[in-house]
Amino acid sequence: MPDRPGHVQRHAVDSAKIRSKLHWKPPQSFADGLTETVRWFREHESWWKPIKSASFKKYDEVQYRGLGETTPSYSLAPNPT
């Protein structure tokens, strides 16, 4: 099923240019950053848990109507209250 116009199917970052021209390097490895991200989400459940609420699921149903099984189970919509 085709995606909606404007949806990005893939992000690929290549930092080779900034590394070579500016001698930049990331402050941590990808693995360490991922571990830190998971830790943050575990410690801040009150921030993300409302996104799984019925009102957000309803928002998704309206916004992604007709996309079938490709409908995401998350939403970045503003808080409806």
48 within 8 A of 73, measured Cβ to Cβ: no
Tell me the pTM.
0.49
Structure tokens at 10: 């893939």
59: left (phi over 0), alpha (psi -120 to 50) or beta: alpha
Structure confidence by residue, pLDDT tens digits, 4-52: 666 667 778 889 999 999 999 999 999 999 999 999 999 999 988 887 7
DSSP 9-74: -------HHHHHHH----SS-HHHHHHHHHHHHHHTHHHHGGGGSHHHHHHHHHHTTT-GGG--S-
Domain that includes residue 61, residue range: 30-66
Residue 14 placed within a domain: no
Residue 22 placed within a domain: no
Residue 81 placed within a domain: no
Structure tokens at 25: 């390097």
Residue 40 placed within a domain: yes
* Number of domains the chain is built from: 1
Residue 34 placed within a domain: yes
